[in-house]
Structure 1
């Protein structure tokens, strides 16, 4: 869905969810949100029920997964909530809900994508190739709450917030980062030079379009002017996704 004005989606709101039947008979759900016209980036919520497993496959594009609740298993690795995983294009892997849990997550692809399931022999060959090239082509994992690489940023009016850059996609310019807005943070009227979204992990964010809380994903189209952008008396932590590299312009 391409949006011409901001919109808020909530992961636990049942409106908009669609059931998907995989070729092996497994069923999952997804909630489409964004289909960006600049580079074809797609963003949606997904839900894997307990016991769901998608066998070895690969996508033609780079994509990321932010684990919201439950636990996500990819190959032999299990990822807990508040973790963002970036998968390079063509990375072969099976994944699903970790044993004993179901899982909601935010899915982000840098451009339109398809899926190719791998047979047993092809899967073994791809894993060998992946191991040989793991330094150049591997999963990248970013927990939200470790203390590394947070940097302090200062607004032109003196307000300060914190950012943890995760990646800039070399193909499309898409950027992903964690942002922390302190209690009583306020930014004057401004606009971004790109389209961007914020998934609220903790706290509340007051914008010109409305109040966003934990579990909300709000998407702003390019050049949308936010007259209000502030926190209340607690910190707000969010995952920020843009459709290209950007600047913030004060109005």
Structure 2
């Protein structure tokens, strides 16, 4: 019985070095960042992306009202509206928090981006 179970469940393994970057452009702007999709769970909507924020790139003020997300900093400095965090830091953004985040002005940031539900975002007007 256990042997059959082991054969049915497969692990997921990806080599980020052999994956192309997806370029994301915020609608009606020139704001860009890059990601490699590592996992998107069809049952929960949870996702994990390997992301690169170029130097000085900031995702403007926004809210995720139906999901929480975390970022594990691999390289560089992750800037957030509540502080900056270097390699080895894990930063969790609870559902409903209003925030901005991205790379510090001094250099880019590479992070693992993890959600607990399907991704959603609403940008806030800064008028």
So what's the TM-score if we normalise by structure 1? 0.44
Shift of 1:34: 0.9
Counterpart for residue 45 of structure 2? 40
- 5+ residue gaps, structure 1: 122-251
1:73–1:79 contact (8 Å) kept in structure 2: yes
Residue 25 of structure 2 corresponds to residue 21 of structure 1: yes
Counterpart for residue 81 of structure 2? 75
What is the aligned residue count? 117
Deviations 1:198-237 (A, max 9, x none): xxxxxxxxxxxxxxxxxxxxxxxxxxxxxxxxxxxxxxxx
Higher RCO (CA 8 Å, separation ≥ 6 residues): 2
Cα 1:93/1:114, change in 2 over 3 Å: same
Cα 1:38/1:69, change in 2 over 3 Å: same
Which residue among 106, 110, 118 is the counterpart of 1:104? 110
Shift of 1:6: 2.2
Counterpart for residue 4 of structure 2? none
Matches within 5 A, 1:1-251: 5-11=10-16, 13=17, 15-23=19-27, 24-60=29-65, 61-120=67-126
Shift of 1:97: 0.4
Deviations 1:12-52 (A, max 9, x none): x1513201111331111011111113311111111001121
Cα 1:14/1:22, change in 2 over 3 Å: farther
Deviations 1:149-200 (A, max 9, x none): xxxxxxxxxxxxxxxxxxxxxxxxxxxxxxxxxxxxxxxxxxxxxxxxxxxx
- 5+ residue gaps, structure 2: 1-8
So what's the TM-score if we normalise by structure 2? 0.84
SS at 1:50 equivalent? coil
User: CA–CA distance in 1 between the matches of 2:82 and 2:93?
Assistant: 15
1:16–1:32 contact (8 Å) kept in structure 2: no
Deviations 1:41-88 (A, max 9, x none): 111111001121111001121111100000000015111010111111
SS at 2:72 equivalent? strand
